[in-house]
Amino acid sequence: MSVRTRIGSSLKSRTKSAMQAQKRRAWLLRVARQRQGLSRSDAGVRQVSFDGEPLWGRVVDGFTAAGTAADNLSLVADA
């Protein structure tokens, strides 16, 4: 492998990871806007966390869909 090829492949990988990071930031911004709109329009929406990952759900009879999802996820993770 020539020096030129190694430099080219290194640039490609950095460009690809920069693009992936940019896509991730755009996705996070889009999700944040959706959650903001949802929480303004529906007072029952609450957040819970599972392993540091935020989950969102609507409160129904004192339970949240996100809380139930976190409980179910912990059951699967423990198996």
pLDDT tens sequence across 11-70: 566 778 888 899 999 998 998 888 888 777 777 777 777 788 777 777 666 666 677 777
- In this structure, what token pair is assigned to residue 58? 């609507």
What's the predicted TM-score (pTM) here? 0.45
pLDDT confidence of residue 57:
74
- In this structure, what token pair is assigned to residue 72? 């179910």
Q: What type of residue sits at position 32?
A: A
Identify whether the C-beta of residue 49 lies closer than 8 Å to the C-beta of residue 55.
yes
Identify whether the C-beta of residue 11 lies closer than 8 Å to the C-beta of residue 29.
no
pLDDT confidence of residue 13:
67
pLDDT confidence of residue 31:
85
Q: How far is CA 43 from the centre of its chain?
A: 22
pLDDT confidence of residue 5:
54
